[in-house]
Amino acid sequence: MIGEITLCFSSLFGSGSSIVSLNWVDSLVIAIYFVFVLGIGYYLMRFTKTGEDFFLAGRQMTAWIAGLSFVAANLGSLELMGWAASAYQYGILAAHWYWIGAIPAMVFLGLIMMPFYYISKTHSVPGYLKLRFGESASMLSAVSFGLMTVFMSGINMYAMAIVMKVVLGWDINFSIWVSSLTVMIYVVLGGLLSAIFNEVLQFMLIWLGALLIPIIGMIESGGWSGMVAKIHHNYPLGNYTHLWSTLGSFKDNPMGIHWTGIVFGLGFIISFGYWTTDFLVVQRVLAAKDLRSAKMAPIIGAGFKMMVPLIVILPGLLGLAVIPGLVGETQAVATGAHSYNEILPLMLARYCTPGLLGLGITALIAGFMSGMAGNVSAFATVWTYDIYRPILKKLKRADVDDAHYVKIGRWTTILGVIISIGTAYLVQQFASIMDYVQALFSFFIAPLFGTVILGMLWKRATSKGGFWGLFAGIVSSVGMWLWVKVDPAALRIIALSPYAKDMAQDMYRALWSWIICVSVTVIVSLMTTPKPDSQLFGLVRGCTELPSEGDLALIKRPVFWAVIILIVFAALNIIFW
């Protein structure tokens, strides 16, 4: 009977030419996953009554749960498949996005920034900007973040549906509607609490579904040295296994990037901008039960983030060793060969027997759903508290009760999913929208980091300085992007080299827009009147007395674990130099 039901489930998914074909037991594994996530949402509905429950999970999460959720919200399926493909294309260089492109920023968030986010009792990053710089900077940040979040969610949804069509032969409409409606139901029912519970579950599934690939791949390749030897044999002219030694010149590596771009553009601006000010991930940490947990959560997250290359980058490298000859997407379409974008499902199909294959595919679906839940729950919070509430207050000249905002949060979640689905279909009609929206999202990250970090660390920064700095940073980022669009030769000026490629442009554009944001903020602040110290308590370093951790045992102090993480991070970079 179960076999018949799941066979129906398989046929519902569709069939046709695909990389992987699912057995009925694989479909059963996937169906069980959907039952569980919906069940969790239904179960948690009874615990989600107040605004703090719905938008901040009641601020009751332990450091472990907040930390795992923090990483899971970022660990989407496109992230898994995309970086595995990048590892096949660029080699171990792709690991920079997991190590220098994440770890220092996550540790910085935990130790330096989290106390201010947490003590200020803000519900969001725009909420912090409102307290520190006033309504203008907050509204600019909230509107840009809210819109871009749901648009990005839609783009990811469409890209995921395409992946499922290519990998499994599933119908695009089926993938879009089933996955997004499932996310919508469990987030509407249980709010951030439900999103976080499911993200932790999804994080476990991603690991348990993907970890078999490197294990069996290493056995097949004969360990690390065997894999490196095979890669050198397959690609004698390429250098795929060194992290830093090829970054001395733009033309010495396939990414066309210089180490300054990686260190300052990726490692400093883009990474710090994303991990410390993107509310999608920061919201998970704000749900922590106390300040120590809030500081520990990003550090725990950093520990797990550092291990992700094991299930993402290593499969790409193993692919170079055992499945050589995969080509780029354009060539694959023209010749009918497999593309390196399909490396992760190809490796799943290579090593996974029935049941395990279902677990691997469930890991991909879980990755997509955790990313989407992160988007819609963050959108609901920012829209309700940072856009709707100030407008309603101005119109009514009074605040309304908490239950009203919970209701608006639930409706906004539904609205967010509908806009995401609409965006997915829009992208299906006009593929170029995808590039534009992704570029739009990148415009805000670096300047926002400049504004927030000055707000937290420099008490002289004023409201006008914050707003105009953020505005100038965004405008300059858009300007540089347009300049390169109109005149591609401008890339050599922005990225400082005629050999620079697209990847380098993102790094240097972020760097320049951050410098412009910080410069304008400083200049305007020095020309305008700052707030008195008494109004900056809980918001700015130097005006806020942070709770001492002197009475805690060393092993319980966040700074102790941060040092451990940084030592391991340094060791990994040296080992794979």
**Which residues contribute to the site for other proteins (CB under 8 A)?**
25, 28-29, 32-33, 36, 40, 43-44, 46-47, 58, 60, 62, 65, 197, 200-201, 204-205, 208, 212, 216, 219-220, 349-356, 359
Tell me the closest approach of the beta carbon of residue 420 to other proteins, in angstroms.
26
Residue with tokens 């008494």: 534
Angle, helices 343-351 vs 212-221, to 10°: value is: 70
Tell me the closest approach of the beta carbon of residue 25 to other proteins, in angstroms.
5
Q: Which is nearer to other proteins, 16 or 355 (CB)?
A: 355
Q: Which is nearer to other proteins, 32 or 334 (CB)?
A: 32
Q: Phi/psi of residue 117, each to 5°?
A: -60, -45
Q: Which is nearer to other proteins, 2 or 527 (CB)?
A: 2
Q: How many of the other CB atoms lie within 10 Å of CB of 468?
A: 21
Q: Which is nearer to other proteins, 163 or 213 (CB)?
A: 213
Q: Which is nearer to other proteins, 3 or 542 (CB)?
A: 3
The residue count of the chain comes to: 577
Q: Which is nearer to other proteins, 331 or 353 (CB)?
A: 353
The rounded distance, in Å, linking the Cα atoms of 158 and 151 is 11
Tell me the closest approach of the beta carbon of residue 354 to other proteins, in angstroms.
6
Tell me the closest approach of the beta carbon of residue 380 to other proteins, in angstroms.
21
At a CB cut-off of 8 Å and minimum separation 6, what does 218 contact?
Answer: 224, 227, 314, 318
C-alpha dist (Å) from residue 207 to 79, 87, 245, 447, 463: 14, 18, 30, 34, 44
On the 0-12 / 13-18 / 19+ scale of CB atoms within 10 A, 30 is buried
Tell me the closest approach of the beta carbon of residue 340 to other proteins, in angstroms.
19
Q: Which is nearer to other proteins, 208 or 522 (CB)?
A: 208
| Per-residue tokens: 156 | 């990811």
At a CB cut-off of 8 Å and minimum separation 6, what does 32 contact?
Answer: none
The rounded distance, in Å, linking the Cα atoms of 377 and 385 is 12
Residue 551 gets the label, from left (phi > 0), alpha (psi -120 to 50) or beta, of alpha
Q: Which is nearer to other proteins, 204 or 566 (CB)?
A: 204
Q: What is the DSSP letter of 535?
A: G
Q: Which is nearer to other proteins, 245 or 353 (CB)?
A: 353
CA–chain centroid gap for 247, Å, is: 25
> C-alpha angle with apex 216: 211 to 222, nearest 5 degrees?
130
The rounded distance, in Å, linking the Cα atoms of 16 and 342 is 17
Q: Phi/psi of residue 225, each to 5°?
A: -65, -35
Tell me the closest approach of the beta carbon of residue 204 to other proteins, in angstroms.
5
Tell me the closest approach of the beta carbon of residue 388 to other proteins, in angstroms.
28
Tell me the closest approach of the beta carbon of residue 307 to other proteins, in angstroms.
17
495-521 burial, b for 16+ CB within 10 Å, e for fewer?
bebeebbebbbbbbbbbbbbbbbbebb
Which residue from 276, 275, 270 is spatially nearest to 508, judged by alpha carbons? 270
Tell me the closest approach of the beta carbon of residue 221 to other proteins, in angstroms.
11
Tell me the closest approach of the beta carbon of residue 65 to other proteins, in angstroms.
6
Q: Which is nearer to other proteins, 352 or 369 (CB)?
A: 352
The rounded distance, in Å, linking the Cα atoms of 513 and 518 is 9
